[in-house]
Structure 1
Amino acid sequence: MILKKGVLFCALLCLVACGGGGGGGGEEPEPEPRPQATPPSAVALIFPENNTECTEGTVVNENISRIPFQWTLSENTDTYEVVIRNLDTNDESTFVASTNEADISLARGTPFEWFVISRANGVNETATSPTWRFFNEGPGIENYAPFPAQAVAPQRGSFIDFTPTFVLIWEATDVDDDLESYEVFFGTDPNDLPSVGTSDVQEIEVDLTAGTTFYWQVLSVDSQGNTSTSELFEFRVN
Structure 2
Amino acid sequence: MKRVLLILGFLTLTFSACKKKSAPKPPEAVQLIFPERNSECTVGDNLSATATQIEFRWQAADNTETYDLRVTNINTGVVQTLSNLSTTSGRLPIQRGEPFTWRVTSKNGKVQETVSSVEWSFYNQGSTTTFAPFPAEAVFPEMASKVFKDVNNEVELSWTASDLDNDISEYEVYFSTETSPDTLIDTLPLNTTVVKVNVAADTVYYWRVVVKDAEGNATNSNIYSFKVS
Query: Is 2:172–2:184's contact at 8 Å kept on the other side of the alignment?
Result: no
Cα offset, 1:193, TM superposition: 1.0
Query: Is 2:169–2:214's contact at 8 Å kept on the other side of the alignment?
Result: yes
Q: Does 1:63 align with 2:46?
A: no
Give the TM-score normalised by the residue count of structure 1: 0.70
In the other structure, the counterpart of 1:119 is 107
Q: Which one of 116, 123, 129 corresponds to residue 135 of structure 1?
A: 123
Q: Does 1:100 align with 2:88?
A: yes
In the other structure, the counterpart of 2:156 is 167
CA distance in structure 2 between the aligned counterparts of 1:120 and 1:54, rounded to whole angstroms = 31
Cα offset, 1:211, TM superposition: 5.0
Q: Does 1:87 align with 2:77?
A: no
Query: Is 2:207–2:224's contact at 8 Å kept on the other side of the alignment?
Result: yes
Cα root mean square deviation, aligned: 3.1
Look up the equivalent residue of 1:113 and give its one-letter code: T
Q: Does 1:193 align with 2:183?
A: yes
In the other structure, the counterpart of 1:153 is 140
CA distance in structure 2 between the aligned counterparts of 1:174 and 1:203, rounded to whole angstroms = 18
Give the TM-score normalised by the residue count of structure 2: 0.73
Larger deviation: 165-174 or 72-81? Answer: 72-81
Look up the equivalent residue of 1:145 and give its one-letter code: A
In the other structure, the counterpart of 2:213 is 222
Structure 1 alignment gaps of length 5 or more:
1-29
CA distance in structure 2 between the aligned counterparts of 1:164 and 1:37, rounded to whole angstroms = 43
Query: Is 1:186–1:196's contact at 8 Å kept on the other side of the alignment?
Result: no
For the residue of structure 2 that corresponds to 1:177, the secondary structure is coil
CA distance in structure 2 between the aligned counterparts of 1:35 and 1:210, rounded to whole angstroms = 40
Q: Which has the larger radius of gyration?
A: 1
Query: Is 1:183–1:199's contact at 8 Å kept on the other side of the alignment?
Result: no
Look up the equivalent residue of 1:183 and give its one-letter code: E
Look up the equivalent residue of 1:50 and give its one-letter code: R
Cα offset, 1:67, TM superposition: 0.6
In the other structure, the counterpart of 1:72 is 59
Cα offset, 1:233, TM superposition: 2.8
Q: Does 1:233 align with 2:227?
A: no
